């Protein structure tokens, strides 16, 4: 490919709407173009990258006996009603009515389609286990698409679904898939991707893992233990608080606290630490607007995912009205109407006394709260966000650190959620009807491409790993008006092509600076520079984009030298 | 791959809803499953076929300097409003409103997206010519999806768009693409695909060709000259009628014709041939319901595509009311109000006299019509369908035959329709702003797969050409309960895999008849049968699905023998 006809503009200025580097570089480098909010077209360099990623994924899925299939983008709403998700998923799902008046949806994931495809076929235990996968376009109407290819509305995803006759068999295959995922990320040049335990959210399963690329610009927060191998998504991480009662238990005492509304203010007014307070956080259930009051230790925050999972439905921060009988800023557990509201107590309040809290009347707080004495028997549940420096749920040390990461893949043990709701059954060896157990396994192709860029770039552009680089080599002819220079570069171009080395050839009559800027933005791992000055010595320059190699090679030896770099790097997943 | 875990049911009975063979065989063979009307999921065998077709297309597009890109499935309506197609396309386009209230469409083709991708980039003549293409899912809300993968609502298509600075350059590239398409169809095993001139319809271009696979079940009618190389879609074929006036010109004479409503009836009543009548055909414009009356020779039919192109808008057969002043069955050109209605005369009426026609009053016809005398000066235009045995527009002989075919691809010279409407311009070498000229080039992947099946099958299943077969070889172990038989087959399976021969292995403990039925339905070009009986002679049977080869080969020689068949057939596009 010659660069002079390569579609896409390359430019120097960072676009003002690009918050993260990978987005800025992929716009500046002519990889992608915005079509609508969160919807992009890909130019050739990006399409070559995503095709290579797709092929790596395909090879690894085939290796673990995956059967490539294809589900449709457009599905009838009735299929999603079978699983209940047509109703339970909100505005993230794009819906339309077809010309015959049938409600249709755009696929954001394909559990329903997977079950629909195999439920008649897989009617006997002898047909299990099996795994089907596809690489297909999906649409999720995100409220806030952002960060370029990291969070988009339309994306290409590899989604795989496995079917099993026992939990043990699912776990066996889950482990195989776990390893295949590690190979995929390693081969794509990001072996630094880690796995974390995650909440399975709307997928409805139990055990699940996310594959995370740690980066400060990541959208997910991950709790990582510095002492053991514990790693979990913040949403799923158990919060462990060890309280021990010390000192004398005080009586409950009302305090006049005019104008004091926050837990921080009351603690500073009383001159007590935040840990000795009981904070109220108020939500409303999305469906009914019913009020949910959570009491939690003053220094902690509510983990909304845990709350949603506990309630079994989604919530939003409450809009507290006068009629509710609640006084914002003064809400406390004593005398709280537990018939009228859903009232929950976080585990962080267990084994405490002498807390400050709201007194459920304007301008008053309590001090000396002891929940067992003043409220009675309550159930404590884990609703808190894990904290930096918190206790590791696995090794028990105060060794939790919070990092940020991009989720580049996930694997779920789904159980029988979809097979039960969609009536997929098989006859076991004893002739009894059973529901198969499912696993599902996803990787976002475009997001992975952007994540690799995020992990491997400098100020001038991406530094693509060999296995997914748009081209393996960029050949720069610095003086196409110099006959010998041009002839040598042309010859190398032909030879690279003859050897099936993927080469992008820049023989434009432009300044070297402009040529190198473009080459940096396209980020081919190897650059071969042909210039009159070097040709006087009979050599060409071969440099790698990551600056590890920079050598002058006699022009006859260039092809072989470059082929060795390519082979070495492919082998090293680099 | 072992067949015992291959998802998909195979069965013997032809499904009652399958009208054509390819559909029936692909349902019976476990290739596809219906998800909704005109929407399918693909099982592994079909996905392997379509992937191979996609790769052949990709290679040929890359060879002619195509740049693979990707456009989104979901696009903002505003993009389609720029070209005017948001308004001009009807219910075939799926539309929805996103969560922010923006109207969106599902792409049924991507001219708008192609222009959007390159219109800023391609701002100088130096960047031309170039071609971009994608292989992507499309959705077209067909009123009558049918014939399996031949006419669906959701499909995968390769669509390519080329951009040029002159008509000559477009034509040069158009010819290159024309050849590439012939190579694609040849490599996919259907060299019998022919090109025909076509009407470019809603694409809005001028010159265009369709690639047709001739088959009685095709949806398109094609006029083919038996004497020269003229081939055209019926919709585009010029109808040539040579009338010569003979005999004396009669006076116009009213005839009382009670109860006679059709042109056939009046001709038989008057005992004159259909060629000596002037038939009225009445349409209404879709937008305004305005009435359009076409007069045409009684033996011919109106070509609605030509009519639509002439009017510049779509029409439907008229519902004639009393208020219109028209009397169905008695409509004629004499005294017809040409202010009130659009009145058109087909070329077939040129140079005629002594015609019968309606008299524009109930129960009366005329005979002796001579249009120039009785109606006055009229313009004759070509609105008729070409007929079997009609005159070839190229060689002039009465040599037209009408065949049916499936359109498996098309190429269009689009001109500046999209670049003008979407304001894409470049500076030419003299510094003047110009609109680039476009070509576009499509192939439906799934339809091509079904067409190959339609062209190459027997009663028992598809006969896939080597290049696109789901697997190259099916290995049948006839007696997996026989130790030697199983061991030999297992060894061959391992050896095929080691040699990267694509092999589907059937070692199920089932009757040979059932095994062969399944093999016929999957249609691998080569079958290797291992049985105890043959092993006694130290041989295996190697047969091809098309029955050309059927030999007993010593088991040590099987791999090499099969590899040679594969290589030969790939070379021969067979």
A311-325, B72-86, B455-469: range with lowest mean pLDDT: A311-325
Sheet containing strand B253-256, edge to edge, reads B253-256, B364-369, B355-358
Task: Read off the CATH number of the domain in which B507 is found.
Answer: 3.40.50.800
| Residue B320 and residue B375 in contact, taking contact as beta carbons nearer than 8 Å | no
CA-nearest of B469, B463, B460, B457 to B46 is: B469
Tell whether A424 and A563 lie within a shared domain: no
CA-based nearest distance A287→chain B, Å: 19
Q: Which of A454, A488, A521 is the last residue of a domain?
A: A454
The two tokens of residue B257 are 């014709």
Domain of residue A414, CATH code: 3.30.930.10
Do A35 and B116 lie within an 8 Å CB cutoff?
Answer: yes
Same domain? For A477 and A337 the reply is no
Does residue A295 lie in a domain region? yes
User: Which pLDDT belongs to residue B312?
Assistant: 85
Interface of B with A in 541-570 (CB under 8 A): none
B37 — pLDDT class (breaks 50, 70, 90): very high
Mutate to test the interface with B, among A40, A41, A110 (most CBs of B within 10 A): A41
Residues 130 through 149 of chain B touching chain A, CB cutoff 8 Å: 130, 132, 134, 136-137, 139, 141, 143
Using only C-alpha atoms, what is the Rg of chain A? Answer: 29
Residue A4 lies in a domain: no
| pLDDT, position B206 | 66
Minimum Cα–Cα distance from A8: chain B residue: B121
Alpha carbon of residue B484 to chain centroid: 51
Measure in Å the smallest separation between the Cα of A204 and chain B Cα atoms: 23
**Substitution target from B3, B11, B29, B41 for chain A, most A beta carbons within 10 A:** B41
Tell which of A423, A454, A485 closes a domain.
Answer: A454
In a domain, A247, yes or no: no
What pLDDT score was predicted for residue B313?
85
End-of-domain residue from the set A454, A489, A512: A454
Q: Give me the CATH number covering residue B326.
A: 3.90.960.10
CB–CB contact A98 B94 (8 Å): yes
Number of C-beta neighbours around residue A244 at 10 A: 6
- A91 and B99 within 8 Å at the Cβ level: the answer is yes
Q: What is the mean pLDDT of chain A?
A: 94
Q: Over 50: is that where the pLDDT of B553 sits? A: yes
Give A147-157 pLDDT, tens digit per residue. Answer: 899 999 999 99
| Same domain assignment for residues A329 and A450 | no
Query: CB of A124 within 8 Å of any CB in chain B?
Result: no
Residue carrying structure tokens 């050309």: B548
Residue A27 lies in a domain: no
Determine the residue among A26, A34, A96, A119 to mutate to test chain B binding: the one whose Cβ has the most chain B Cβ atoms within 10 Å: A96
Same-domain status, B76 and B136:
yes
pLDDT at position B20 is 94
Of B65, B69, B72, the CB nearest to A47: B69
Task: Specify the pLDDT at position A203.
Answer: 45
* Percentage of residues of chain B with pLDDT beyond 90: 87
pLDDT > 90? residue B325: no
- Interface probe with B: pick from A10, A32, A68, A69, most Cβ of B within 10 Å: A69
Residues 14 through 53 of chain B touching chain A, CB cutoff 8 Å: 30, 33, 35-37, 39-44, 46-48, 50-51
Chain B residues near residue A117 by CB distance under 8 angstroms? 7, 33, 41, 43
CB contact under 8 A, A72 and B106: no
Least CA distance to B9: which residue of chain A?
A121
Q: Do A94 and B72 touch (CB under 8 A)?
A: no
- Tell me which of A318-327, A434-443, A532-541, B197-206 is least confident: B197-206
d(C-alpha B508, C-alpha A554), whole Å: 60
- Please state, for a pLDDT cut of 70, what percent of chain B lies above it: 99
Percent of chain A clearing pLDDT 90 (strictly above): 87
Q: What is the pLDDT of residues B462-476, one digit of tens each?
A: 999 999 999 999 999
Binary contact (B116, A68; C-beta < 8 A): no
pLDDT at A309: 86
Query: What confidence score (pLDDT) does residue B323 get?
Result: 85
CA distances from A328 to A263, A278, B221 (A): 11, 14, 76
- pLDDT at site B204: 47
Q: Can you give the pLDDT at residue A197? A: 83
State yes or no: pLDDT of A386 exceeds 60.
Answer: yes
Give which of A366, A337, A365, A343 is closest to A353, Cα–Cα: A366
Measured in angstroms, the CA of A452 and the nearest CA of chain B are apart by 20
Mutate: best of B1, B2, B5, B103, partner A, most A CBs <10 A: B5
Compare CB distances from A99 to B71, B91, B132 and report the shortest one's residue: B91
CB contact (8 A) between residue A130 and residue B65: no
Report the domain count for chain A.
3
| Model confidence at A12: pLDDT above 70 | yes
List C-alpha distances in Å: B563 to B16, B104, B491, B528, B566. 39, 51, 16, 12, 5
A83 with A227, same domain: the answer is: yes
Residues on chain A touching B91 (C-beta within 8 angstroms) = 99
Query: What's the pLDDT at B324?
Result: 87
Predicted local distance difference test score (pLDDT) of residue B322: 83
Q: Supply φ then ψ for residue A251, to 5 degrees.
A: -75, 155
Q: Per-residue pLDDT for B56 more than 50?
A: yes
Those of residues 79-118 in B touching chain A at CB distance below 8 A are: 79, 91-92, 94-96, 98-100, 102, 104, 106, 113, 116-118
Q: Does residue B534 sit within a domain?
A: yes
User: Is 0.80 surpassed by the pTM of this model?
Assistant: yes
Instruction: For residues A271 and A206, state if they share a domain.
Output: no
Q: Does A120 touch chain B (CB under 8 A)?
A: yes
Q: Count other C-beta atoms under 10 Å from residue A131's C-beta.
A: 23
Percent of chain A whose predicted confidence (pLDDT) is above 70: 99
User: Quick one: A356 and A261 in the same domain?
Assistant: yes
Same domain, B160 and B259: no
One domain for residues B288 and B344 = yes
pLDDT at B202: 43
The answer to whether the peptide bond before residue A129 is cis (omega within 30 degrees of 0) is yes
**Which residues of chain B from 51 to 70 reach within 8 Å of chain A, CB to CB?**
51, 65, 67-70
d(CA A411, CA A160): 9
User: What secondary structure does DSSP assign to B88-127, as a single string?
Assistant: HS-TTS-EEE-TTS-EEEE-S--HHHHHHHHTTT--BGGG
Nearest Cβ partner of B41 from A98, A113, A130? A113
- For residues A71 and A178, membership in a common domain is answered with yes
Residue A23 placed within a domain:
no
- Which among A50, A74, A141 is the nearest to B98, CB-wise? A141
Select from B7, B35, B37 the Cβ nearest to the Cβ of A132. Answer: B7
* DSSP structure class, residue A146: B
Considering only CB atoms, which chain A residues are within 8 Å of B116?
Answer: 33, 35, 41
Measured between CA atoms, the residue of chain A closest to residue B40 is A72
Q: What is the mean pLDDT of residues A86-111?
A: 95
Which chain A residues have a beta carbon less than 8 Å from that of B132? 7, 44
Q: Which of A46, A95, A137 sits opposite B137 (nearest CB)?
A: A137
Residue B293: pLDDT band (50, 70, 90) is: very high
**Whether residue A210 sits in one domain with residue A141:** yes
Confidence band for B187, pLDDT divided at 50, 70 and 90: very high
CB-based contact A41 B130, cutoff 8 Å: no
Is B282 in the same domain as B426?
Answer: no
Any alpha helices (H) in A122-221, and if so which ranges?
167-187
Q: Kindly state the average pLDDT of the residues A442-469.
A: 97
SS (H, E, C) A300-324: CCECHHHHHHHHCCCEEECCCCHHH
In this prediction, residues A92-109 reach a mean pLDDT of 96
Please check whether residue A9 lies inside any domain of the structure.
no
What's the confidence (pLDDT) of residue B236?
83
Would you call A7 and B43 a contact, using CB atoms and an 8 Å cutoff?
no
What pLDDT shows up at residue B200?
53
**pLDDT tens-place string over residues A46-56:** 999 999 999 99
- pLDDT for res A204: 47
Would the pLDDT of A248 be above 70? yes
Which of A7, A127, A139 is the closest to B121 by Cβ?
A7
Nearest chain A CA: its distance from B173 CA (Å): 15
Chain B interface, best mutation among A98, A135, A154, by max B CB count within 10 A: A98
Q: Which domain range does residue A508 map to?
A: 464-571
3-class DSSP assignment, residue B24: helix
Whether B170 is covered by a domain: the verdict is yes
A508 touches chain B (CB under 8 A): no
User: For residue B219, what pLDDT is reported?
Assistant: 86
Q: Which of A193-207, A214-228, B1-15 has the lowest mean pLDDT?
A: A193-207
**pLDDT tens digits, one per residue of B363-406:** 999 999 999 999 999 999 999 999 999 999 899 999 999 999 99
């Amino acid at each position: 490919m010659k660069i002079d006809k390569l579609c896409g503009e390359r430019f120097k200025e960072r676009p003002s709407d690009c918050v993260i580097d990978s987005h800025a570089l992929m716009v500046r480098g002519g990889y992608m173009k915005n079509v609508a909010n969160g919807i992009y077209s890909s130019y050739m360099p990006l399409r070559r990258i995503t095709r290579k990623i797709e092929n790596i994924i395909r090879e690894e899925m085939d290796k673990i006996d995956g059967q490539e299939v294809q589900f449709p983008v457009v599905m009838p709403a009735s299929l999603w009603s079978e699983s209940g998700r047509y109703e339970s998923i909100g505005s993230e799902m794009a819906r339309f009515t077809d010309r015959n008046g049938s409600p249709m949806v755009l696929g954001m994931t394909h559990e329903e389609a997977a079950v629909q495809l195999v439920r008649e076929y897989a009617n006997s235990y002898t047909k299990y286990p099996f795994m089907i996968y596809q690489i297909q376009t999906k649409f999720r109407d995100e409220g806030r698409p952002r960060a370029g290819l990291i969070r988009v509305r339309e994306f290409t995803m590899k989604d795989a679904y496995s079917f099993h006759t026992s939990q043990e068999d699912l776990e066996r295959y889950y482990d195989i898939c776990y390893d295949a995922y590690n190979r995929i990320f390693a081969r794509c040049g990001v072996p630094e991707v880690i796995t974390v335990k995650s909440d399975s959210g709307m997928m409805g399963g139990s055990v699940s893992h996310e594959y995370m690329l740690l980066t400060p610009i990541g959208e997910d927060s991950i709790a990582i233990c510095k002492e053991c191998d514990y790693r979990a998504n913040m949403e799923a991480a158990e919060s462990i608080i060890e309280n021990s009662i010390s000192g004398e238990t005080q009586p409950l005492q009302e305090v006049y606290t005019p104008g004091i509304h926050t837990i921080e203010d009351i603690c500073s007014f009383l001159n007590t630490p935040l840990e000795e307070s009981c904070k109220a956080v108020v939500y409303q259930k999305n469906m009914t607007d019913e009020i949910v009051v959570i009491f939690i230790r003053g220094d902690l925050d509510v983990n909304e995912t845990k709350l949603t999972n506990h309630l079994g439905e989604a919530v939003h921060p409450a809009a507290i009205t006068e009629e509710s009988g609640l006084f914002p800023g003064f809400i406390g557990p004593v005398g709280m109407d537990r018939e009228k509201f859903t009232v929950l107590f976080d585990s962080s309040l267990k084994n405490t006394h002498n807390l400050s809290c709201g007194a459920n009347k304007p301008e008053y707080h309590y001090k000396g709260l002891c929940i067992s004495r003043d409220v009675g028997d309550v159930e404590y549940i884990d609703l808190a966000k894990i904290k930096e420096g918190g206790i590791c749920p696995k090794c028990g040390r105060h060794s939790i650190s919070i990092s940020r990461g991009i989720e580049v893949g996930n694997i779920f043990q789904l159980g029988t959620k979809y097979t039960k709701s969609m009536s997929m059954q098989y006859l076991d060896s004893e002739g009894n009807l059973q529901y198969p157990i499912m696993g599902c396994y996803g990787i976002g192709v475009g997001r992975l491409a952007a994540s690799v860029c995020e992990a491997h770039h400098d100020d001038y552009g991406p530094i693509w790993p060999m296995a997914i680089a748009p081209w393996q080599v960029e050949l720069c002819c610095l003086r196409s008006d110099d006959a010998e220079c041009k002839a040598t570069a042309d010859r190398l171009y032909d030879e690279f092509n003859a050897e099936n080395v993927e080469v992008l050839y820049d023989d434009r009559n432009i300044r070297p600076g402009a040529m190198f800027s473009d080459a940096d933005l396209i980020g081919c791992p190897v650059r071969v520079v042909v210039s009159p000055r070097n040709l006087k010595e009979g050599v060409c320059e071969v440099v790698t984009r990551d600056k590890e190699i920079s050598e002058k090679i006699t022009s006859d030896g260039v092809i072989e030298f470059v082929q060795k770099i390519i082979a070495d790097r492919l082998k090293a997943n680099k």
